[in-house]
């Protein structure tokens, strides 16, 4: 059976899931999206993902046209139709079909797409040995230009950073903000551990407020681990006791080398090893059933 895609009110086979070349999502990256995971027959943190989706829509003045409850049914049904109890879900809402001009008023109705498939960002061995990353020249978008809290379809800023990482022989990049503070990776948030304290950049640094990021902080606090949201620099990265990334697709992955510097003993740290099983256990019980 062909993979079924939800497209504007109906399920269509993958090969027929097409959008207009006049869609402003295609022409201008004018739209928003969420990457969501399903585990063991449950859609993990779906409420939180939909809250962020609708907040992004509000900020860019995009009228989605359906309620959160209806959107939840679309996500669950797309997984169900495809028989996927474990999946990566891509929910996309674009401004819709208009003309070749920029004016969003020419787009009378948003386009809604829901895709369920599989995704593997990193080899499984990297979760045991750690990831090598590098900081890159491309800075994260300034919050006054395009706020990274909007999970928009325009990911060129992130892609440029990913290209620089690839050219440097790494799978992932660390981006700094306009002031030179560590911001986030191209698709993940970042944490460091120093003297037993878990530290991540604050929202005000110009980062996406990650669902996995917030979950990890909650789990850490539940273990009586001190958590801080504060600015830090590359110097702090290089001298951290642990570094790891978090994101929906990546989950939690350790970083053991940055810009040629080995982090601590070059192995995933004890705090990471403590939190990862807790995170994976949570994925078994959280979220609506498929």
Does the active-site annotation cover 151?
A: yes
Integer-rounded Cα radius of gyration of the chain: 19
Catalytic residue among 14, 151, 267, 289: 151
C-alpha separations of 180 from 147, 162, 185 in Å: 17, 18, 14
Map tokens 């640094």 to a residue. Answer: 205
User: Exposed, middle or buried by CB within 10 Å (0-12, 13-18, 19+), for 124?
Assistant: exposed
Q: For residue 194, what are the β-bridge partners?
A: 197
Distance of CA 145 to the CA centre of its chain: 20
CA angle 179, 194, 276 (to 5 degrees): 105
Q: For residue 38, give the nearest of 93, 111, 115 by alpha carbon.
A: 115
| Cβ count within 10 A of residue 144 | 8
Contacts 24+ apart (CB under 8 A), 12-21: 17/113, 17/115, 19/94, 19/111, 19/113, 20/97
d(CA 286, CA 279): 11
Q: Among all residues, which ones are annotated catalytic? A: 151
């Amino acid at each position: 059976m062909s993979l079924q895609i939800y497209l504007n009110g109906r399920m269509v086979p993958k090969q027929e899931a097409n959008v207009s070349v006049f869609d402003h999502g295609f022409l201008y990256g004018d739209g928003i999206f969420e990457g969501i995971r399903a585990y063991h027959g449950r859609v993990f943190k779906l409420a939180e993902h939909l809250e962020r989706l609708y907040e992004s829509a509000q900020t860019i003045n995009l009228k989605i046209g359906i309620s959160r409850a209806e959107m939840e049914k679309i996500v669950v049904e797309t997984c169900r139709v495809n028989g996927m109890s474990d999946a990566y879900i891509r929910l996309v809402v674009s401004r819709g079909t208009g003309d070749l001009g920029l004016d969003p008023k020419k787009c009378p109705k948003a386009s809604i797409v829901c895709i369920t498939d599989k995704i593997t960002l990193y080899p499984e061995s990297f979760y045991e040995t750690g990831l090598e990353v590098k900081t890159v020249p491309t800075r994260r978008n300034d919050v006054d230009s395009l706020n990274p809290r909007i999970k928009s379809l325009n990911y060129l800023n992130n892609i440029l950073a990913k290209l620089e990482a690839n050219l440097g022989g790494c799978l992932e990049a660390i981006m700094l903000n306009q002031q030179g503070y560590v911001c986030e990776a191209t698709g993940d948030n970042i944490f460091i551990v120093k003297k037993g304290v878990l530290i991540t950049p604050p929202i005000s640094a110009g980062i996406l407020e990650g669902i996995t990021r917030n979950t990890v902080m909650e789990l850490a606090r539940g273990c009586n681990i001190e958590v801080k949201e504060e600015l830090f620099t590359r110097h702090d990265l290089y001298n951290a006791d642990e570094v790891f990334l978090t994101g929906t697709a990546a989950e939690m992955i350790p970083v053991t080398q940055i810009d040629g510097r080995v982090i601590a003993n070059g192995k995933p740290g004890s705090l990471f090893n403590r939190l990862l099983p807790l995170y994976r256990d949570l994925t078994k019980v959280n979220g609506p059933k498929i």
